[in-house]
């Protein structure tokens, strides 16, 4: 575990080159911090070319000090290109990324090169709403009541409440906390799993990973919101699933690699848990022939829980604030200390 | 407006007859308060007969002091019978009801006879979850993402967030407050409409009914949670609907009579508001030929928002507590002071 590394940021009168996607540069031009030597924006075009002041850069001219790996990198299909640029940027001091989970191998490479990395939690509110929406829809059997409407059936329909249900939130980063707060506001009782000690009144109890399986038999909703690491890969395997309640819901908004998908399919077939809500899968996009698509107890979305309408503006705000802090030699928000 | 009326409750050594549904009596027998002269349970059978100590009562022998109009009255189809028993119970002092809205005419008749009436708010958490679930499902287009899954389509899907959406909650009783608190926990900004002054940090502002229409043009979600009275009947008519945002959602969990259904259908056809979530209709059950069933912008449920799994136990707890208070001459919870 290292703290902020010791590479100094540049004095305000020296040029600073910032690598970012061209559309981000255009949108944020008016919000960039002013300094004696203006920022030089190294703009990644949608075709993969890199421009500075309207001219394509040769590889030898490319030496950014800072970079922003934004949502646009993904939506424009530029991830592979961006990663290769980062790997080739010898003078890189700082990367700000929209990722919350840093399991892409490039992050470990940058970290070992002592590049500072700050990450985003802009997606946490969206993820929390995603989880809340899907759990409520299952508890209230939305598909069944919609079918009743389509058949003009006035159908009494008692439903399961979130109030007094027990949730187990695995991983108490920003997403886990945001989920816990919303479920608690609905009267749910929340247990949290995290390695570090934590005291927050939103939780009835917080226990370390070693006590997770013991909590499963009384948990109505189990939400995976933890990083994918060597310790967590395949976390949800046969013993985990066998310890769940029959009417429990498993929600994965974190990483597909946390779940042994073959074991999950077997468990769902056997009736325990009752439902899996999966926003992520081991292979993405999930191949059309994969049985998770068609299992009646699975609700599957396309790595989409982050994609709330507030995520892009929250990402912009956080990047701009961290850029200001970087230039002012202040502490970065959400800087990563270990990978 | 009267405060508690002056009919004294009975001393503990005098018999007290309590009218309730037989299944309620059976379930709660072990929870009834002890007193010198035990409670005499006048039990309404599912066939409409009234029994005391296992023997059917003749009308002349029927003189309950207190009554509980429970959920079972509805689920067993006994409402009409129960109301006629209340109307014929000359010595009735107190009625506890599961209703929150007291627009059934019997309540006004009892109130004018100076029968004390206490009501329930046990359904408020269920109603709040119902509203939250349906609004989230609309914002996240659950039907569209479910269709994508059924076609094995890995579909990116940006969605509208509750966070920073503006809600207008009309009526700040227990249901309105429960809704406001949950939406606020998701980051929504809440305005409330109520006649009485109210200060609660959950609201950005609270304004009287006269300022309601002025709030509509900026409200993303409008929830009707107010009583049906002469003032509120047809509240949602053409002027109200014309003032709403195009992408707004109207939610009615209160009473069908609040909405001019012809005007609503016209407004939905014209594209404003975007969606109506109706748990109640003017005629219930809604006739199969009614166009609300089939309108693509309507999500309709069968007066079901109250029917959360926690509502029956919360109702039992409240009734038992109020019975204890009644016998102890303490202040009743949720006693009605005006109808």
| Cβ neighbours, 10 Å, residue A244 | 22
Instruction: Identify whether residues A65 and A141 lie together within a single domain.
Output: no
Instruction: Identify whether residues B117 and B164 lie together within a single domain.
Output: no
Query: Which of A:186-245 have CB within 8 Å of B?
Result: 186-187
In a domain, residue A50? The reply is yes
In a domain, residue A60? The reply is yes
Residue B295 contacts A where some CB pair is shorter than 8 Å: no
Instruction: Identify whether residues B89 and B177 lie together within a single domain.
Output: no
Instruction: Identify whether residues A180 and A270 lie together within a single domain.
Output: yes
Asked about A199 being catalytic, the answer comes back as: no
Residue A142 contacts B where some CB pair is shorter than 8 Å: yes
The residues, any chain, with a CB within 8 Å of residue B80's CB and separated by 6 or more, are none
The whole-model pTM stands at: 0.93
Instruction: Identify whether residues B100 and B143 lie together within a single domain.
Output: no
**Active-site option among B116, B255, B275, B314:** B255
State the smallest CA–CA distance between residue A2 and chain B in angstroms: 35
Q: What is the pLDDT of residue B4?
A: 44
In a domain, residue B93? The reply is yes
In a domain, residue B133? The reply is yes
β partners of residue B20: B43
Instruction: Identify whether residues A287 and A319 lie together within a single domain.
Output: no
Instruction: Identify whether residues B40 and B107 lie together within a single domain.
Output: yes
Instruction: Identify whether residues B93 and B241 lie together within a single domain.
Output: no
In a domain, residue A219? The reply is yes
Instruction: Identify whether residues B160 and B293 lie together within a single domain.
Output: yes
Asked if residue A64 lies in contact with residue A19, where contact means CB atoms within 8 angstroms, the answer is yes
Instruction: Identify whether residues B65 and B153 lie together within a single domain.
Output: no
Residue A282 contacts B where some CB pair is shorter than 8 Å: no
Instruction: Identify whether residues A187 and A253 lie together within a single domain.
Output: yes
Instruction: Identify whether residues B252 and B110 lie together within a single domain.
Output: no
Would you give per-residue pLDDT tens digits along chain B (339 residues)? 334 443 455 667 778 999 999 999 999 999 999 888 889 999 999 999 999 999 999 988 999 999 999 999 999 999 999 999 999 999 999 999 999 889 999 999 999 999 999 999 999 999 999 999 999 999 999 999 999 999 999 999 999 999 999 999 999 999 999 999 999 999 999 999 999 889 999 999 999 999 999 999 999 999 999 999 999 999 999 999 999 999 999 999 999 999 999 999 999 999 999 999 999 999 999 999 999 999 999 999 999 999 999 999 999 999 999 999 999 999 999 999 988
Query: Which of A163, A182, A310 lies at the smallest CB-CB distance from B310?
Result: A163
Interchain pair A129, B186: CB under 8 A: yes
Q: Is the ipTM of this complex over 0.90?
A: yes
Domain hosting A56: range is: 16-121+311-327
**A18-52, pLDDT tens digit by residue?**
999 999 999 999 999 988 888 999 999 999 999 99
Structure-token pair, residue B120: 């329930």
Structure-token pair, residue A118: 């700050």
CATH of the domain at B26: 3.40.50.720
- In terms of DSSP H, where are the helices of B14-123? 22-28, 71-75, 79-88, 105-112
Count of domains forming chain A: 2
In a domain, residue A169? The reply is yes
In a domain, residue A1? The reply is no
Asked about B255 being catalytic, the answer comes back as: yes
The DSSP output letter for A222 is: E
Residue A157 contacts B where some CB pair is shorter than 8 Å: yes
In a domain, residue A7? The reply is no
Q: Is the peptide bond before B132 cis (omega within 30 degrees of 0)?
A: no
């Amino acid at each position: 575990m290292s703290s902020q590394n010791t590479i100094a940021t540049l004095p305000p009168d020296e040029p600073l080159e910032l690598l970012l996607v061209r559309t981000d540069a255009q949108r944020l031009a008016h919000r960039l911090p002013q300094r004696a030597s203006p920022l030089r924006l190294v703009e990644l075009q949608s075709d993969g070319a890199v421009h500075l002041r309207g001219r394509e850069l040769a590889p030898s001219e490319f030496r950014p000090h800072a970079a922003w790996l934004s949502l646009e990198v993904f939506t424009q299909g530029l991830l592979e290109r961006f990663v290769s640029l980062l790997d080739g940027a010898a003078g890189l001091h700082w990367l700000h990324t929209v990722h919350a989970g840093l399991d892409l191998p490039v992050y470990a490479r940058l970290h070992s090169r002592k590049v500072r990395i700050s990450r985003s939690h802009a997606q946490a509110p969206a993820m929390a709403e995603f989880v809340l929406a899907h759990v409520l829809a299952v508890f209230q059997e939305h598909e069944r009541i919609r079918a009743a409407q389509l058949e003009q059936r006035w159908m009494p329909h008692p439903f399961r409440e979130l109030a007094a249900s027990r949730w187990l939130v695995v991983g108490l980063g920003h997403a886990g906390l945001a989920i816990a707060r919303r479920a608690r506001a609905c009267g749910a009782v929340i247990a949290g799993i995290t390695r570090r000690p934590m005291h927050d009144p939103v939780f009835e109890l917080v226990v370390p990973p070693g006590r997770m399986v013991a909590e499963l038999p009384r948990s109505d909703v189990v939400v995976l919101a933890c990083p994918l690491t060597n310790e967590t890969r395949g976390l949800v395997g046969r013993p985990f699933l066998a310890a769940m309640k029959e009417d429990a819901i498993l929600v994965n908004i974190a990483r597909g690699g946390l779940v042994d998908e073959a074991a999950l399919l077997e468990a769902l077939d056997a009736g325990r848990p009752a439902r899996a809500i999966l926003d992520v899968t081991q292979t993405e996009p999930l191949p059309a022939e994969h049985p998770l698509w068609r299992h009646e107890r699975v609700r599957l979305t396309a790595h989409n829980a982050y994609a709330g309408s507030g995520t892009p503006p929250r990402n912009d705000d956080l990047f701009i604030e961290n850029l200001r802090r970087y230039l002012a030699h202040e502490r970065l928000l959400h800087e990563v200390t270990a990978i």
